[in-house]
Amino acid sequence: MSEQTGTEKVEVQDNITTTTTVTDSITTTTSTTTTTIEETKTKETEIEHTGINPELTLINNPIIMNKLAGYQFFEKILKSPKKIVAPMVDHTYLAFRMLCRKYGSDMVYTPMMHSKNFATQKVYRKDNFSTCPEDRPLVVQFCGNEPEWVVKAAKYVENDCDAIDLNLGCPQQIARRGNYGSFLLDKPHIILPIVRALHQNIKVPIFCKIRLLPNLDDTIKLAKDLQDAGCQLLTVHGRTKEQKGQFAGVANWDAIARIKKELTIPVIANGSVLEYEDIDRCLNQTGADGVMSADGILANPAMFSGLNVDTIQVARDYLELCHKYPTQLGIARSHLFKMLKSKLDLQADLRDQLHQCATYPELSEIVEQLDHRIKTNAPQVKVLSNKEKRELKAKQEQEQKDQNTTTTTDNTNNNNKRDNNNEDETDQSDKKKVKTNNDKNNNEYVILTKDGASEPVPMQN
């Protein structure tokens, strides 16, 4: 798109290059003009000192006033996405978004980003946002409780995404302390001005993501108010903010259905979409326009494809994308833990080694070792829990006592045998005990020595 003069086009600070982050781009080339770093820094200086971008034309900007909305935008621009990847802090960065797109996702969200930090800190922008031309449709999500900062943050990315989403669903304590996310659901006097400001000042449509209030009628009223304020798509997580962690329970799809019937904008259903078969069940029960998944996608990024893809191959694909789109190693390692969990649970020594990996080649080596063990039907390795260790020690001690009381002291052979057993126990004290199941009828303990060698011994019944 060529740069326009006057108020037709707003060039945002820290422009994004083809596949880079929203920070200090050396140049941003369009079909007819180039924005240089000197021009960008001049704009940044004015904003930082005055708090006002002199190029922003609010409300009367024809691009903003004439932007597509509701179902018109949903169908023409987004192409009616059905399978949507949720915003996930520390997870939905560029490499993972591109992985999800490869395996059938129709639309992907960025992680939730703090609007004031994004608007004021170059390092925060660099660390948290990057994109590329293939990364579409893309929704950028912000949290915040002040219209000014949310709008300023959105201005940085409005040229490089399809929509801006306001997070009203985060239930974590950090959101309580910061007074954002789901802790604003009962504060419409804070929420609605933010949505109005975004709708009036940002050139792309505004979405919102909410959780249920304890009273469904209150949730419906809030949804209608958000729609009236300018929200063009609403995602409803079918749980309250209290339903999280071990208390999450099953998402209330019936509540989402009630909300959907009351609105005229697209509604996305979120919650309890963990497998491919859940997609149609959720759509049929809620009447929603699409489904959003978080945990299901983390465990199986290929879930939306409906294909039976080995997570080992998905992990390889992800690591390749991490090289193409640089990703912090800790984030990549976290993804591998989640997508390989069921396999790593059976090879606990590799799980522990993965935790210690400090380079990408080490991550790849763990994936290949895991694949080799699976293909060769290697013994399943499970580290004993502290309880299992205590029970094993008590059992061995009791067996030793029983043996001592029944052994004839005059029997030289038995005495020699006892000495050998004592030596074995001393030798075993420096070893790490790990439980393994070769098959259902032949349970063994595999003992890993300090140098990594292993030896199986029969399980004592």
Q: Which residues are catalytic?
A: 170
Burial 24-55 (b: 16+ CB within 10 A, else e): bbeebeeeeeebeeeebeebeeebeeeeebeb
Q: How far apart are the first and last CA of the chain?
A: 74
Q: Which residues of 430-442 are buried (b: 16+ CB within 10 A; e: fewer)?
A: eeebbbbbeeeee
Other CB atoms closer than 10 Å to residue 319's CB: what's the count?
20
- Look at the alpha carbons of 315, 316, 319, 320 in this order and tell me if their dihedral is positive or negative: negative
- DSSP assignment of 237-283 equals ESS-TT--GGG-----HHHHHHHHHH-SS-EEEESS--SHHHHHHHH
Could you tell me which of 229, 205, 207, 218 has the C-alpha nearest to residue 259?
218
Rounded Cα–Cα distance for residues 311 and 309 (Å): 6
Which tokens sit at 158? 């409005």
Q: Radius of gyration over alpha carbons of the chain, in Å?
A: 28
**CB of 249 closer than 8 Å to CB of 271:** no
3-state SS of 383-414 is ECCHHHHHHHHHHHHHHHHHHHHHCCCCCHHH
Pick from 135, 124, 143: which is nearest to 96 by CA? Answer: 135
**Chain centre distance of CA 330:** 13
Beta strands 442-448; 454-458: pairing state = antiparallel
**C-beta neighbour count of 107 within 10 angstroms:** 24
- Contacts made by residues 370-377, CB under 8 angstroms, sequence distance 24+: 370/312, 370/340, 370/343, 370/344, 371/312, 373/347, 374/312, 374/343
Q: What is the C-alpha to C-alpha distance for residues 243 and 176, in angstroms, rounded to an integer?
A: 15
Cβ count near 325 (within 10 Å):
19
Query: 3-class DSSP state for residue 451?
Result: coil
Alpha-carbon span 304 to 286, nearest angstrom: 18
Enter the tokens of residue 43: 């704009």
